[in-house]
Copies of this chain bind each other. A is one copy, B any other.
Amino acid sequence: MFSWSPPPPGPLDKLFQYIDAHQDEFVQLPDGQSLPLPPIILAELGNDPKKPTVCLYGHLDVQPALRGDGWLTDPFTLAEVDGKLYGRGTTDNKGPVLAWINAVSAFRALDQDLPVNVKFILEGMEEAGSVGLEELVRKEKDRFFSSVDYIVISDNLWISRRRPALTYGTRGNSYFTVEVKCRDQDFHSGTFGGILHEPMADLVALLGSLVDSSGHILIPGIYDQVAPITAEEIQKYKSIDLDLEEYRNSSQVEKFLFDTKEEILMHLWRYPSLSIHGIEGAFDEPGAKTVIPGCVTGKFSIRLVPHMNVSVVEKQVKQHLEAVFSKRNSSNQMAVSLVMGLQPWVAKTNDSQYLAAKRAIRTVFGVEPDMIQDGSTIPIAVTFQDIIDKSVMMLPLGAVDDGEHAQNEKINRWNYIEGSKLFAAFFLEVARLHASDARNLP
């Protein structure tokens, strides 16, 4: 585990005092075994109505790790090598959680007034899809969360090794299955090959109708709701610190679909993308089996961006696939299902807490942050924004090469310590801006 020594002299007073009692809720595991959900920790420090209340989200669960997977050190014993702190969870997400605690502790150790009220929400199911989190947030909306002004999530990474970032958006996702069925049993391709509408031929045609070789999605209307690009936005991409050649090399990709940094970033963050994940029910093993699968299910998903809407996309996908299928005159049955729909998230970057974070970054690092989005889906941001209806910000402190989820995950000592300073500075800045916002209210 991550070993943490609190800054002298003392631990936080009331922190970690509110332990959620949801241990009786159960999650059904695939083998039928039931385990209690781990508790979600809600903690608070300070309740001064004159101060803003900042709620910090983090998670204490981690990805699995075994020494034999290729770790150079024991993944569950913190080890420092050349200024890098190695261990499972160092960057995802125990290190950032501790940096927040460090910042609070520093104020208290110096007997300085903590300029904000602090609330923590720390869960233990993030790596398994945050089971139980949304339910708790809904339940505590008018209690624990009623006084919250700002929500900060420090659970992602910078896009560079040295330059801090602020994350203001994530793509959503819509995950589809398309089943094509002739009958439940498979056929022998010698005995039936040549006289059947083969489900795999139908499915391959359906999946092949979704996206062209340049990555452009072929579903009619799918780009209609994508927010138009602005000159200011293009400028934002230009200023981002991304070494494309290094990025390409570290990705082990021969060539991307696009050649410039701006195009790459736009297609990861502000345009939808469609990926075909695989097929269930066909022959997927090594070797050569002469089977005609009787019933196959294709799986694909579309990453969503502002202002796309899951329900509209669902309708467009179904209409498109039905049109393609109907042209085939197949006697098979087709069924399209949306199995997961998550809206994209985007924040207003002129909110006080974004301005406060920018100022704090300038103070600690002496640079402007990269203003970034994340191509993947972080549902908790949408959950918080939708349910609590307050400003949500992602303030990462890990570097792009930290290797979250990978072997030899690390956080740099520099990121961890400067990040603790950043968080302390953020408390001061957000309190100052909040007060001036309050004075300016009509």
Q: Which residues of A contact B (CB under 8 A)?
A: 171, 173, 175, 177, 182-183, 185, 188-198, 200-202, 204-205, 207-208, 211, 213, 215, 251-258, 264, 267-268, 271-280, 282-286, 288-293, 299, 301, 303, 327-332, 339-340, 374-377
Contacts and interface: CB of A to CB of B under 8 A. Distances in A.
A297 to B, nearest CB: 9
Contacts of A258: 195
Given A175-B288, A277-B289, A194 B182 contact: no
Contacts of A377: 190
A254 B182 contact: yes
B277 A290 contact: yes
**Ordered nearest first, which 3 A-B pairs have the shortest CB separation?**
A190-B376, A278-B282, A194-B273
B267 A198 contact: no
Given A204-B207, A282-B278, A215 B188 contact: no
A173 B175 CA distance: 37
Nearest to A208: B208
Contact of A200 (B275, B285, B292): B275
A194 B282 contact: no
A62 to B, nearest CB: 17
Given A279-B282, A280-B285, 16 more contacts: A189-B273, A190-B377, A191-B268, A192-B251, A195-B215, A195-B264, A196-B215, A197-B255, A198-B211, A200-B277, A213-B327, A254-B331, A277-B293, A278-B293, A280-B284, A288-B340
A284 B278 CA distance: 6
Contacts of A299: 283, 288-289
